[in-house]
């Protein structure tokens, strides 16, 4: 109900804005006219030809936030790289199609997927009930733990020591949800911020005493950048990463899943995992 009102409002508002523009000035700016697949139709396809569409277009558009090392992030040369990207590239190679890496705004990812801007969300996305409802998720391909990181010189040696302290967490993340549901939540002050790296930097500068984030990200940053951080023993909840497809795109989802399983079987997935994590941490069957 809420979304349908929102959708009407957006449609009405943009229609009004367009009329205004027409009345005010004629048109300064015509939208791009290109010949690729018509927009909007993919989301409403009655029969499921999602896989065929991708194969015909010869490309898979992967949506990602591009600031989530080591899953998918931007390197020094502004290239999008990461574990997820390597895996997606291999899947595309096996399907004989091109991989298009499309940066998106993480806050509007569900819209981008449903409206057909992208074909899948593949960016270390944790499974939660809302996402399972909004998307057609793949089988989980990796486990992730939510952990607390403190500066090397911190007095806190365990999660219990954090009582009364300030903890940073990424907004809109599953980490935030887990932290809010945890017992310790009532005895800590939480400072939400847009990304984990800024949070860690703020912790270094003394804005907070600890950061609650994905172990995958924390371990990568600590080893890659030689940071003097300590991971507190224990975790609040283990969660899993999955790939998100449109609700109706069953054939595409199944094909990607099948390709991942084949990659796990012939060792390619393990090889990519070793490159990024030092061992095969994937849970694909």
Partner 1 sequence: MTSEQISTLFSLMLEYTIPTLKIFGYTLLYSIPLGMVVALLKMCKFKPISWLTNIYILIMRGTPLLLQLIVAQYSVPYILKSDICPDFLRSLLEGVDIRSESYIFNMMLFAFILNYAAYFAEIFRGGIESIPKGQYEAAGALGFGKVQTFFRIILPQVAERVLPASSNEVITLIKDTSLASAIPYMEIMYIAKKQVPTYASLLPLFMAGLFYFAFASLLTVLLSLVEKSFSHSWKRGMKKFARGIFRRGNA
Contact pattern from residue 176 through residue 195 relative to partner 1, giving x for each residue in contact according to CB under 8 A and a dash for the rest: -------------------x
Contact pattern from residue 200 through residue 239 relative to partner 1, giving x for each residue in contact according to CB under 8 A and a dash for the rest: xx-------------------x--xx-x------------
Residue from 176, 191, 198, 235 touching partner 1 (CB under 8 A): that is 198
Retrieve residue 127's tokens: 């499974």
Q: Is 110 in the site for partner 1 (CB under 8 A)?
A: no
Interaction with partner 1 in 4-23: which residues (CB under 8 A)? 7-8, 10-11, 13-18, 20-21, 23
How do the residues of the chain divide into helix, strand and coil, expressed in percent and rounded to 5? 45, 25, 30
Contact pattern from residue 144 through residue 183 relative to partner 1, giving x for each residue in contact according to CB under 8 A and a dash for the rest: ----------------------------------------
Indicate the residue among 77 and 155 with the shorter CB distance to partner 1: 77
CA dist 106 and 126 (Å) reads 13
Q: Is 45 in the site for partner 1 (CB under 8 A)?
A: no
Question: Three-class SS of residue 102?
Answer: strand
Q: What are the beta bridge partners of residue 80?
A: 74
Please give the angle made by the CA atoms of 157, 219 and 164, to the nearest 5 degrees: 30
Q: Which residues contact 186 (CB under 8 A, 6 or more apart)?
A: none
CA dist 282 and 285 (Å) reads 9
Residue from 1, 2, 5, 34 touching partner 1 (CB under 8 A): that is 34
């Amino acid at each position: 109900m809420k979304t349908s009102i929102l959708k009407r409002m957006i449609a009405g508002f943009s229609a009004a804005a367009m009329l205004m523009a027409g009345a005010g000035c004629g048109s300064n700016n015509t939208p791009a006219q290109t010949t690729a697949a018509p927009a909007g139709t993919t989301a409403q396809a009655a029969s499921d030809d999602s896989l065929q569409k991708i194969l015909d277009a010869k490309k898979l558009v992967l949506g990602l936030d591009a600031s989530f090392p080591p899953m998918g992030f931007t390197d020094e040369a502004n290239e999008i790289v990461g574990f997820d990207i390597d895996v997606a590239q291999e899947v595309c190679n096996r399907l004989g199609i091109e991989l298009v890496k499309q940066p998106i705004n993480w806050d509007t990812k569900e819209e981008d997927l449903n409206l057909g801007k992208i074909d899948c969300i593949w960016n270390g996305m944790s499974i939660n009930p809302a996402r399972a409802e909004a998307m057609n998720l793949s089988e989980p391909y990796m486990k992730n733990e939510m952990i607390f990181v403190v500066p090397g010189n911190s007095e806190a040696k365990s999660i219990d020591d954090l009582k009364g302290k300030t903890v940073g967490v990424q907004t809109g993340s599953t980490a935030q949800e887990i932290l809010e549901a945890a017992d310790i939540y009532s005895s800590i002050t939480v400072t939400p911020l847009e990304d984990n790296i800024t949070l860690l930097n703020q912790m270094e500068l003394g804005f907070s005493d600890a950061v609650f984030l994905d172990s995958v990200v924390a371990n990568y940053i600590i080893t890659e950048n030689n940071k003097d951080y300590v991971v507190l023993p224990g975790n609040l909840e283990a969660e899993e990463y999955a790939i998100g497809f449109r609700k109706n795109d069953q054939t595409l989802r199944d094909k990607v899943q099948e390709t991942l399983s084949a990659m796990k079987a012939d060792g390619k997935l393990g090889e990519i995992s070793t490159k990024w994590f030092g061992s095969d941490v994937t849970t694909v069957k």
